[in-house]
Structure 1
Amino acid sequence: MTRPSDHRQYAAATDRNREPILAVLQAVLPETGTVLEISSGTGQHAVFFAPRLAPRRWLPSDANPLAIDSIAAWRSHHPCETLYPPILLDASTSPWPVEQVPLPASLADSGFEPGAIAALVNINMIHISPWSATLGLFAGAERLLPPGGVLYLYGPYKQQGQHTAPSNAAFDESLRAQNPDWGVRNLEDVVAVAIAHQLQLVKTVPMPANNLSVIFQR
């Protein structure tokens, strides 16, 4: 990852995975409403998806203030009327800013409507965050999603305790070396958390580079 001369951060993987992810999102997201992206990272996905998923609105978020700066910078370079300003949001905490009364000024001033959230999108977070972030993500989905609402996940997963490729096993080892609370998760463990929070697994979609799209519905 490199940083351009402004606050935009750049992740090369985003350019590689954005088209396959978009194809799945177009097929599974509700046709209207607001999509809340949890852990938006650089903001490259947000500026790519928002205009292509209109009339849905896209609300990016992240727990890292530097990421918020990057998302805002990408948004300023690629303005889109359906892309909200980013918000600081830590999935492991509760309540989330979108649930606060009154709303934070940045949300209220943007015209955000809390009741319009129809889907949550979470890309490449679960394996590079503590398990508490996953628990918080599903708890938030239970609180926010209406009946029929969608939670979309993307990333690498073990299945039945086994890595799906040697590269994923090596990646898992490198993650755990950086932080013992990180690591490629068992899909079955994630599904169990979903069920505990009133979400059902709809389907998984194999993706490039041994990743999965995992779609849940409220």
Structure 2
Amino acid sequence: MLLSSSPATIHEVAPHMKRHAPAADRNRTPILDVLRPLLHDGALVLEIASGSGQHVVHFAASLPSVTFQPTDADGSALASIEAHLAEAALPNILPPLHLDASAASWPVTRADAVVCINMIHISPFACTEGLFAGANRVLPPGGLLYLYGPYRFSGAFTAPSNEAFDASLRAQNPAWGVRDVDDLVRLASAAGIAHEATIPMPANNHSLIFRKRA
């Protein structure tokens, strides 16, 4: 459940709820390096599954002319995001919203770009389907959809560590797992979104760049 929006609640409760993911510290700069040339001044960026909130704070601090809208479906994640936002006190981050990627409607109706980092392998495939459908709803023609995470390519893993990671995910939840880029491209195409580029990233991850078709 989303925390109360009253300032007293945010500043009193949020500092005790702040999460820290070491992986976010490692990958935030390589991700920013990819995103920086893709985001224009004045853009509104909708982040899906913002998690701890570390990414959105780092991006907003580095791109002061871009506005960021963090979201998550998990109440404790929303509390962590609020804690990071209260600490950073950046004017270009909007209050976090509860958003379920698989839902037929989202609380945000438009955005210039949609960013989703490390979500699709730790959620049911319905969330990935909803992500592309939602991106099609909120993006303008040419709007950016950016995905980051581990992937398979035509059924093959990029490294033994990713294959082991996939097995551990499926052991935790059979609905989870490292997704195949071929499946994502087909899903995107059906939603009116075109695959533009695949960029290798550190630690056997990749950035996937998509654009909504005109």
Summarize the alignment of residues 195-210 of structure 1 with structure 2, pairs less than 5 Å apart. 195-210=189-204
C-alpha distance after superposition, 1:41-86 (max 9, x if no partner): 0000011111212211000000001100000000000010001110
Separation in 2 of the partners of 1:98 and 1:10?
Answer: 26
Separation in 2 of the partners of 1:166 and 1:42?
Answer: 28
Match of residue 149 from structure 1:
143
Question: Aligned match of 1:40 in 31, 42, 50?
Answer: 50
Corresponding residue SS for 1:185: coil
TM-score of the superposed pair, with normalisation by structure 2: 0.91
Deviation of the 1:23 alpha carbon: 0.1
Question: Aligned match of 2:92 in 75, 82, 92?
Answer: 82
Question: Aligned match of 1:186 in 176, 180, 184?
Answer: 180
Which blocks of at least 5 consecutive residues in structure 1 are unaligned?
A: 100-113
Match of residue 108 from structure 1:
none
Match of residue 129 from structure 1:
123
Residues 85-94 or 30-39, more deviating? 30-39
> Are 1:94 and 2:104 an aligned pair?
yes
Deviation of the 1:180 alpha carbon: 0.1
Match of residue 170 from structure 1:
164
Question: Aligned match of 1:54 in 53, 56, 64?
Answer: 64
Separation in 2 of the partners of 1:131 and 1:78?
Answer: 33
Which blocks of at least 5 consecutive residues in structure 2 are unaligned?
A: 1-13
Corresponding residue SS for 1:24: helix
Residues 39, 66 of structure 2: 8 Å contact kept: no
Summarize the alignment of residues 94-113 of structure 1 with structure 2, pairs less than 5 Å apart. 94-99=104-109
> Are 1:30 and 2:24 an aligned pair?
no
TM-score of the superposed pair, with normalisation by structure 1: 0.89
Change (3 A) 1:10 1:196: same
Residues 30, 118 of structure 1: 8 Å contact kept: no
Deviation of the 1:5 alpha carbon: 6.6
C-alpha distance after superposition, 1:121-147 (max 9, x if no partner): 000001000000000000001111001
Separation in 2 of the partners of 1:98 and 1:145?
Answer: 10
> Are 1:212 and 2:201 an aligned pair?
no
Match of residue 78 from structure 2:
68
Percentage of matched positions with identical amino acids: 53
Q: CA RMSD in A?
A: 1.2
Corresponding residue SS for 1:46: helix
Separation in 1 of the partners of 2:53 and 2:38?
Answer: 21
Residues 23-32 or 39-48, more deviating? 23-32
